[in-house]
Amino acid sequence: MDSILVTGNGPLNGQIPIAGAKNACLTLMPATLLSEEPLTLTNAPRLSDIKTMTALLQSLGAEVSALQDGQVIAMSSHDLTSQTADYDIVRKMRASNLVLGPLLARFGQAVVSLPGGCAIGARPMDLHVEGLEALGAEIELKDGYLHAKAPGGLKGAVHEMRFASVGATENIVMAATLAKGTTVLKNAAREPEIVDLVECLRKMGAQISGEGTSTIEIQGVDCLHGATHQVVTDRIELGTYMLAPAICGGEVELLGGRMSLVSSFVEKLEAAGVSVSETEKGLKVARKNGRVRAVDVVTEPFPGFPTDLQAQMMALMCTAEGTSVLEERIFENRFMHAPELTRMGAQIEVHGGTATVTGVEQLKGAPVMATDLRASVSLILAGLAAEGETTVSRVYHLDRGYEHVVRKLEGVGAKIERIKGE
C-alpha cells in the first residue's frame, strides 16, 4: 500500500488550481439515469470515487467514457439493462445510493444495496426512504437491499425532511423531476453541490426553483433531455489547500476559488489571524507573522462550517496559540484523526462530539495512519507544519477525494512524496 512522506519545510508560496467538486460530480453522474439522451460533465475531478461511480453506472448498462484525461465525462443511459445497484460496488462508497431516486423515477423500480463509505458513523438512509415514500414509492428492506417500486409512477407531494440531509435532498429532487405534478421539499439542504445539480437538471429540461434555500419546488415533466454541464469548484479541496499557507505560513493563491463557497470557513480563518482576499483568478490566503489564534468551531449544514473541513481545521488548531473547542454535529465518530494528530505532539481531548485542542508551539513528525478521506489530508497538513518527517499510510482514502495532491503541494514548495508500497 502506498504512503505519503511529508517533511516540514517552512512557508509555502505560489498557486494551487482547485478541481471540480467530487461531491457535485457524484450527484451529477447519476442524473444521467433520468434521461435517454447524453449528459456530459466538464471540469470533473480525477478521483477513485468517480471511477467507482463510473463502474456503478456501467453495471446498470450506461455508457460512461472519461475524455480529456478524465476531465470530461460523457454519459448515455439510452440502453440501461439493470435497475440493481449491487453491494460489491455500493459498499465502496455511500454516494452510490444516489442512483435510487433517478432509477425509481425513470423505471418505476430500483434495487439498491445499503451503502458503505467512510467509517464516520451510522449513516442510514431513512430520510431518503421517507422522501421517496412521500412521492408514492413503496420501499422494503430485504437482505441488505432497498427494494423500491412505484408501479403507477411517482406523484408530486409536499414533504418536510426531519434533517436537511444532502444526499436525501439530491435523491428526492432527482426523483421529483419526473413525478406527476408538483413537489415541495421543505427543510431541504442548501449546499452548493445541490445548487449545481439543480442547474444541470434545469439544462436537461427540469422545472425547479428554490435551490440554495430550504424550500425547493419541482414541477414534474414527462422526460428530460441531454445537456452539457460544468462541475462547480470543490469547496472542500479549496478549504483544505487554504489551510496549507495558514498552517505553514506564506502566501498561496487558490485558482478557481470563490468566497461564497467557503464564507463561514473564511470567517474562522480570519478570526484565527489568517488573511483571505479575492483575486481575479480566485482567493489568496496569507499568514505572515506569528502563530494563529485558537478559534472555536461548530460543524453545521451549509452555510455553516462544513464537517468535511473539521479534521483539517483541527490540524491548524493544533498549532494555534490558546485552546479551541471543535464540536462535530453532523457525524458521530468523526474524530478518528485526533489520536493520530496526538502522535505528532498535538494536545487533544475528545468527549463525545467535542474535541478540545490546546495548541502547541511545534508539532513533531511521526508515522500516522489515514482513517478516512478528510482525516488523511489533515495529517498531511499537520506533517507540513511539523518538524521532521511524517509518513501517512493507508492513502487510498486520499485518492478518493484529492487529485494530484503531491503535485499540487510540491508546486507551492512543500516537501512531499508518494512512496510506492507493495
The site for ligand UD1 (CB under 6 A) is made up of: 23, 26, 94-95, 121-128, 163, 165-168, 193, 307-308, 330-331
Q: Which is nearer to ligand UD1, 170 or 253 (CB)?
A: 170
Q: Which amino acid is at 363?
A: L
Specify the residue, 270 or 332, whose C-beta has the smaller distance to ligand UD1: 332
Minimum distance from residue 39 beta carbon to ligand UD1 (Å): 18
Question: Which listed residue (25, 118, 200, 318) is catalytic?
Answer: 118
25 is annotated as an active-site residue:
no
Cα–Cα distance list, 117 to 164, 387, 413 (Å): 20, 33, 33
* Residue with nearest beta carbon to ligand UD1: 167
CB burial of 168-182 (b: ≥16 within 10 Å; e: otherwise) equals: bbbbbbbbbbbbeee
CA pair distance 384, 44, nearest whole angstrom: 27
Whole-number minimum distance, CB 332 to ligand UD1, in Å? 7
Give whichever of 202 and 329 is closer to ligand UD1, judged by the CB atom: 329
The H or E element containing residue 317 is helix 310-317
Shortest distance, CB of residue 255 to ligand UD1, whole angstroms?
A: 22
The torsion defined by the Cα of 242, 248, 252 and 258, in degrees rounded to 10, comes to 10
Residue 135 Cβ vs ligand UD1, minimum distance, rounded to whole Å: 15
C-alpha cell at 158: 409536499
Q: Which residues contact 126 (CB under 8 A, 6 or more apart)?
A: none
CB of 165 to ligand UD1, least distance (A): 3
278/253 Cα distance (integer angstroms)? 9
* Peptide bond preceding 102 in cis form (omega within 30 of 0): no
Q: Which three cell numbers stand for residue 197?
A: 445539480
Nearest distance, CB of residue 23 and ligand UD1, angstroms: 3
Contacts of 175 (CB under 8 A, 6+ apart): 101, 102, 104, 105, 131, 132, 135, 137, 154
Contacts of residue 347, Cβ cutoff 8 Å, sequence gap at least 6:
318, 357, 358, 359, 360
Q: Which is nearer to ligand UD1, 250 or 305 (CB)?
A: 305
Specify the residue, 256 or 302, whose C-beta has the smaller distance to ligand UD1. Answer: 302
Q: How far is CA 241 from the centre of its chain?
A: 15
What is the distance between the alpha carbons of residues 231 and 296, in angstroms, rounded to a whole number?
32
Q: In the complex, what is the shortest distance from the CB of residue 317 to ligand UD1, in angstroms, rounded to a whole number?
A: 19
Nearer to ligand UD1, 307 or 319 (CB): 307
The DSSP element (H or E) to which 247 belongs, if any, is: helix 235-248
Q: Which is nearer to ligand UD1, 310 or 319 (CB)?
A: 310
Annotated catalytic residues are 118
